[in-house]
Each structure stands twice: as C-alpha cells, then as structure tokens.
Structure 1
Amino acid sequence: MGQLEIEKLNETTFVLQMGPHHPATHGVLKLYCEFEGERVLRIIPDVGYLHRGVEKLAESKTYPVAMTITDRLDYISSMTNNIGYCIAIERLMGIEPTRRAKFIRTMVAELTRLSSHLLWLATHALDIGAMTVFLYAFREREQILTFFEKICGARLTVSYPRIGGVRVDVEQAVLDEIYGFTDTMLKKIDDYEELLTENRIWIARTKGIGIISAEEALSLGLTGPVLRGSGVYYDIRKLEPYDAYGEVNFEVPLGENGDTYDRYLCRIQEMRQSVFIIKQCIEKIPEGQVISEQSPQIDMPFQGKREILADGSLWNGFVSFTDKKNEIMPKGEFYSAIEAPKGELGFYIVSDGSGRPYRMRVRAPSFIHISAIPKLCQGHLLADVITIIGTLDIVMGEADR
C-alpha cells in the first residue's frame, strides 16, 4: 500500500501499520491495515524482513549437513522439521529406518506437537488477555524440553533425527519418565479447558471470529488444525502414514464452524491424541539398532573415533559428498511431506546425483497461512486481528525463508 493509495482514503478511513516488531505478530511480520472506524476494510501482509535464505543455503551443504538448517525453520518444532527432511532423503535413496528408530521418531514428533501447541496456547491466550494459561502452558512445555535434553542434549534446535534413524538411543529411564508425564499431561489439558472452554470472555473473543469455510480453506492451501477446524479430514499421518504412525491408533479432531473457537478445540483435542500416541510408542517400542546400516554411506560411519581416524572412512565420505563429480545419489526431483504441528511441511528436492541438493524448496505451513489473514480479518474489528493472527499459529522463521 503506497503513499498514493493512502492519500486516496476518505475521511472515515485510516491506515495502521502493524509490525514488523509487534508482540502479537509472533515474529517479524508487517501488516498494512486499512480501517473504517475499528472495522477492517483491507489487510496486506508484507513478508520479507528476515532474509534468511534457508533454501539457497541448503544447496551449498551436503544432505546430512543441510538437515541442521531445517532446525531453524519453525524453531518451535525442530524435531518434526528434521524428521520431515530425513524422510524425504530416505525416500529418495530407498533407505528404510529401523523399527526402533521409527517408534522413537514418532514419540519425539508427538512430544514436539505437544510443545508447539502449548506455546501456541500460551501466546494465543495471552494475546486475548488470559495470563494464567500462559504460565500453566509454559510449565508443561519446560518439562518436554527437559526430556529432549535428556534424549539428545539439546532443547530447541536438536538435530536429533538422522537419515536412516536417530543419532542416539533413548535410555529406558527416560522412556519411563515420559510415560509417567503422559498421565499428568492429560490432567493439565483438563485444567486449560477449565480455564478457557466455557469462559464467557474467551467465547466472546473467539466464537464467530475468523470464519473460513472448507472450500475457502482448501482453495487457500491451508493445512493442519487451521484446515481441520473447518471440518476437512486431512492429516498426512493418517492418509500417508510414515514412521510408526501406521502402527498406533489415534483420532483426527475436526471442527464444524471454521472459526477461531473451533481451531482452539481442535488443537486441544490434538494434544490429547498426541499423549495417546506417545504412550503407545513407549509400550510398543522394539529392541534393536536406532540407525539403518544403509545410513553410514551418506552420514557419519558406525565406527568409533579411533577406527574412523585409522581407516579414513570419515575423510573418504567427506570427499565423496563434496566432490560434485561423484554421483552418489539418484538423479531426479521429488516431493515429500509430513504432518508438522502447524500443518503440511513438505520438501521439494531436485537431485543432480551429487552429495548436495541441486535445488530445495520448502513448503512451510506458516507461509501459506499468512496468505489467509486478509480473508479471515475482513469485516472484523481491530482487536480481532490479534485473535486471528494467534489462531493461525504462525512462526516467521519458516515463513520468510
């Protein structure tokens, strides 16, 4: 919206530029908002302040090294980002992860979904004016991050999954701790609902706000809880199961009205389903290796440090991957997607046969969902804009790539 357009506005309209550093935009997002009184006439999102260049950076890295970049997309969900990228490379190369690794990856993916939804609930409630839920949700999220630290030594950007499995095994004591946490978590979700679900202020701020029909949501490419809140049954974990999702039972919560309240209920129910999946993974997890024997050809070798230095396998692997003349990967282009906490996370990769992706494109849910802001906000009040940004659950790290 340029200066000329602003000058054309009549006396009853005005322009408010929200962001790029506004706490309710959940990142570096700028919105050009045109209002008549307090009612939204038009909103234009401006995405482009971070300039991180993740996709181009990946093209200069080897396949295993490029995985560390995916941690920084939606940094709240680094585990699922890693898993989505690893599955893409595994499908390209025909590598089958071990069964134990599949169950571990499914468990940590659902812990990540819990962590992501907890952060969403905390910040969304705070934006609308509920402070207590913010403190409650961060309490449980802190416990999940502690589990990640015990599993792999990192809390936020983990780089734990590997092409063909996971980096290290999970100790039984940690599995027992997580299993005990699941029962506690179900009670905590009940506490969140007691504070919000029947709260008349929460209902007034969310019911009937940001309504989008199933047809409109599909035409905009929305996925995840935002799409399912409009009643569309689309969950990649069910439709194209990966890792251990085909061996566990869970339901896909759906909304009816496609408003902010329905999207809230969907995420609350998804948290419960995540708890059930985690319990099943721990109960069914088999013994065995945590990384495929096919994996060392493109990742770190199995041997210990002394053996690696003695036989030169690490150096040979480095040379084969960095030399563009060596064709060690299948040529072609492909797309692979998983169900991340915010929606469909896809990786489109073009391989020229070398150890680096020739081109990589990330289909990030936050970027797609930002395009829905103008549609969802039109006709609503200024205060509702904050509510609608929160209900989309966007993280700008994966939006401006």
Structure 2
Amino acid sequence: MSKARVLTVFLGPQHPGAPGNVGFKLLLDGERVLDIDLIPGFLHRGFEKMMEYRRWDMDLVLSARVCVEDPDHVELTYTHAMEQIFGIEPPEKAKYVRVIVAEFSRLANHLLWMMHFAGPIAARYATSWAIAAREEILKWFDYVAGHRVYHHYIFPGGIRWNIPSDFKEKTLKVLKVIKPLIDDLRDGFFYHPIFEKRARDMGRLKPGDAIRLGATGPTLRGSGVKFDLRKALKYDAYGEIDFEIPTGEYGDSYDRALVRLREMYISMEIIRQAVEKMPTEGPYRYRLPAAIPTGEGIGRVESARGEFLAHILQRPPGAHRYSKPLNPYRIKFRGPTMAHLTTVLKHIVHNEEITVADLPVLIGSFDPCAPDIDR
C-alpha cells in the first residue's frame, strides 16, 4: 500500500462519535481504519493520589467520582477492600440493600449507555425512552440516599443509614414503571432491522481473544464467555439470589448490545428477589474501630461495564512521611475501560475491515467510561 494513501486523523475528544473525554489517533486508507490508538489524559484528576492525603471515610466520596455513570459499583469495590482491612462482615440486611442499589446503578448505567449509543446512529427516539426510564431510577436514589447521581450510601460496615419504611413498595413501583419503557427499547431499537444491519457481524471478538486481551463484563459475555463475578464470588447477597448469565453467540457489536438488554431484565428480577428476601429487622451497619488496622484489602465487583478492582494498602503511622493513622498508604483502582479501548479495540481493527462509519457503533458497544481511565 502506498504511504501517500494513508491519512492520519484525530477523533475526539470533542466529537459526537467519541465516548467522552478521550481521543483516538486513526490511520485511514480511504474510509477503512487501518490502526487506532487511544489518547487518554483529558480528564486526569489524580484521585488515587488525593485519597492518600485524606481519611478513609472521606475517600468514599472521592471513589464514586471515578466513574460518574456507575458510581455505586466503585463505592462497593472500595467498601469491600476496606472491610477486608477492618476484618468485618456487613449485616444481612445491608447485604441485600447493597444488591438492590448495585442493580439499580447497573440499570441506570445501561439506560444512559442507550442514550450515547443510539444518538450517533440517528436513533434519537430511543434516547427519549432510555432517559425517561433512568429518571425514575434517579428519583429512587434521591428517595433512598438523598442524592440523584452520587449517592455515598454503601459504607464500610453496611449502609450509611437505614432504609425508609415504605422501601419495598416504592422499589417495586419503580420496576413497574420502567419495565414498559425498556420493552419499548427492546422492540423499537434492539430488534429494529436497521440497527441489526449496522451492528451484526461487525466488531467480532472470539472467546479466546476476549480472555487474552483483558475483556470483562458484557464485552466478555458478548463473546460467549459465561463469567460473572456476582456468580463467581457471591459477594454480599448475590449467593442467595437466582439469576442467569446472558451470553452472545457471535461476539459482535450486536451481541454485546443484546447482552446489556438482557441484563436490564435480569437486574429487575434480582431487585425483586432481593426486596422479598431482605430481612426487615436487624442492624443495617456495624460500628467500625477508631483506627485502621495495618494490612491490605482487595475489592472486586461486577460493575455495569465489567470487573472493577480496588487495592488498598494500609501501613502503620510513620511508614511514610505523609502517612497518617486514618489515611490509606496506597490505593489503586482498575476499571474495565482501558482494556476495551486499547487491546480489544486495536485487535478488532487489525483483524476486520472497520470503516469510519462503523466506529461509533463499535466503540459504543463496549460502553466505555472515560473517567475510569484517568484516575
């Protein structure tokens, strides 16, 4: 191929086809994308380093901001790591409430993904249904936690405060309202022949390649790999709830979208079961000791996009000149987006004929969250 035919083009960070505050360097031969490189750094805020200079309870507020669209799973990851350090288990009631909060966060995230996914391919009618359903979930979060976007409700030792007296009725009512809207999304967008033609047989990822390249969550399951940390680790109350793990058959962009659609219905069923099985009495949080024990904790959860991990190291005071008794010595997060927008995306571009018009669908099928790259 003549070098004169290869054109370098930069996509994003301010572009409708770019997934937020990231950019891409594209090598093009006409309309075909020959290579793609992620350009992060537009949203770097240094959260991990900031957390080392703040108390562990203050860090919970910072952790939620690692991924704006799915904050509760980041809180849960951080909380699990801190509970390992403290050596405590939350009460049974708190475990079920955490599951409900996490699944509503998954639903809200998938619905917001629908808005970003459908818009660039001109299916703007779907964004209205998605936002209408998500609004009901945000109202529920406001009712339970007092906040719509960042909730800070999951807390080491349990949950921050007790649930309202009409919690069960309000929760089931939200599910009743959002289900018809998700049905409309299913019939009017996911099963629409135009969308299927745009996404089917494009961006295929084989199961072995998905594992090797670090894919997790719906991207991994869309390739047919039946793995979910909620089943594997059975954290909180997930071991007491019966649910299936949806997988794809072809590993293409359409399968990844269908996995998220099926996950929305599964999340609603998980919430129903958790509401029915949740203890109505008993403590909702255990009191923590005044000082943090020396040690380390690792939290792993199945977030809306895939595996989220937090590693926290706590050393005795004086181990570092800046360390204080209530501050973590080191903290590190690992989100799912980096692998999806680097190794996975580059592999697909190198092994398949992807055009510039395909990129919004291909990148959108991974549901990337730019903030969890720049921490």
Q: Smaller-chain TM-score range?
A: over 0.9
Q: Report the equivalent of 2:216.
A: 223
Which residue, 340, 344, 347 being the options, matches 2:303? 340
Q: Which consecutive unaligned segments of at least 5 residues does structure 1 have?
A: 1-7, 299-319, 321-327
Distance 2:42 2:271 in 1: 37
Q: TM-score, normalised by structure 1?
A: 0.87
**Contact 2:33–2:349 at 8 Å: present in 1 too?**
yes
In the TM superposition, what is the alpha-carbon distance from 1:186 to its structure 2 partner? 2.9
Contact 2:136 2:178 in 1 (8 A): no
User: How many angstroms apart in 2 are the aligned matches of 1:358 and 1:368?
Assistant: 27
Q: Matched residues in 2 for 1:244 and 1:127: separation? A: 38
Match of 2:65, SS state, is coil
**What is the rounded CA distance, in whole Å, between the counterparts of 2:286 and 2:223 in structure 1?**
40
The residue number in structure 2 matching 1:123 is 116
Deviation of 1:92 (Å): 2.0
Alpha-carbon distance change, 9 to 346 in structure 1, aligned in 2, over 3 angstroms: farther
Match of residue 243, structure 2, among 241, 244, 250: 250
The Cα of 1:334 is off from its aligned counterpart by 4.1
Whole-Å separation in 2 of the counterparts to 1:70 and 1:197:
33
Matched, 1:133 2:129: no
Are residue 112 (structure 1) and residue 75 (structure 2) matched? no
Q: Which residue does the alignment assign to 2:186?
A: 193
CA distance in 2: counterparts of 1:206 and 1:187, whole angstroms = 24
DSSP-derived class of the 2:372 partner: helix
Matches within 5 A, 1:201-212: 201-212=194-205
Residue 288, structure 1, aligned to residue 282, structure 2: yes
Question: 2:365 corresponds to which letter in structure 1?
Answer: T
The whole-number CA distance in structure 1 between the counterparts of 2:16 and 2:59 is 31
Match for residue 294 of structure 2 among 330, 333, 340 = 330
Within 5 A, what are the aligned runs for 1:48-63? 48-63=41-56
Q: C-alpha offsets along residues 228-263 of structure 1, whole Å, 9 cap, x if unaligned?
A: 000111100000011110111111100111101000
The equivalent position to 1:241 in structure 2, one of 234, 248, 251, is 234
1:145 correspondence with 2:138: yes
Superposed displacement of residue 133, structure 1: 0.6
Contact 1:31 1:46 in 2 (8 A): yes
Cα distance in 1, alignment partners of residues 165 and 110 from structure 2: 26
Query: Normalising by the residue count of structure 2, what TM-score does the alignment of the two structures yield?
Result: 0.93
Query: What is the rounded CA distance, in whole Å, between the counterparts of 1:184 and 1:50 in structure 2?
Result: 35
Q: Deviations over 1:350-376 (max 9, x none)?
A: 221342221111011112221122222
Is the partner of 1:25 in helix, strand or coil?
coil
Moved more, 275-284 or 366-375: 366-375
Task: State yes or no: 1:33 paired with 2:5.
Answer: no
Q: Is the 8 A contact 1:376 1:388 kept in 2?
A: no
Preserved contact between residue 338 and residue 373 of structure 2 (Cα < 8 Å) = yes
Which residue identity is paired with 1:329? P
Give how far 1:285 is off.
1.2
- Kindly state the Cα deviation for residue 9 of structure 1 after the two structures are TM-superposed: 7.0
8 A contact 2:26–2:35 mirrored in 1:
yes
Please give the secondary structure, in 1, of the residue aligned with 2:3.
coil
Larger Rg: 1
**Aligned equivalents of 2:56 and 2:338: distance in 1?**
24
Select which of 341, 345, 349 maps to 1:373: 345
Q: Is the 8 A contact 2:144 2:163 kept in 1?
A: yes
How much has 1:97 moved relative to structure 2? Answer: 0.6
Question: Any idea what the Cα deviations from partners look like across 1:179-203, whole Å, max 9, x if unmatched?
Answer: 1222333332221111123322101
Alpha-carbon displacement from aligned partner over 1:2-61 (angstroms, at most 9, x marks no partner): xxxxxx972322111001222322211110101111001111111112221111111111
| Number of residue-to-residue matches in the alignment | 363
Contact 1:45/1:373 (CA < 8 Å) preserved in 2?
no
Q: 2:261 aligns with which of 249, 268, 275?
A: 268
Q: Distance in 2 between matches of 1:117 and 1:145?
A: 13
Shift of 1:166: 0.9
Q: Which residue of 2 aligns with 1:385?
A: 359
**Mapped partners of 1:108, 1:267: distance in 2:** 18
SS state of the match for residue 215, structure 1?
helix
In structure 1, the partner of 2:320 is none
The 1-side partners of 2:116 and 2:240 are apart by 33
CA distance in 1, matches of 2:174, 2:140: 10
Letter in 1 for 2:57: P
Query: Structure 2 unaligned runs (5+)?
Result: 317-324
Q: For residue 323 of structure 1, what is the aligned residue in structure 2?
A: none
Counterpart of 1:349 in structure 2 is 312
Q: 1:84: which partner in 2?
A: 77
1:145-169 deviation per Cα after TM superposition (whole angstroms, max 9, x unaligned): 0000011111111111111011111
> For the Cα contact (< 8 Å) 2:91–2:283, is it kept in 1?
yes
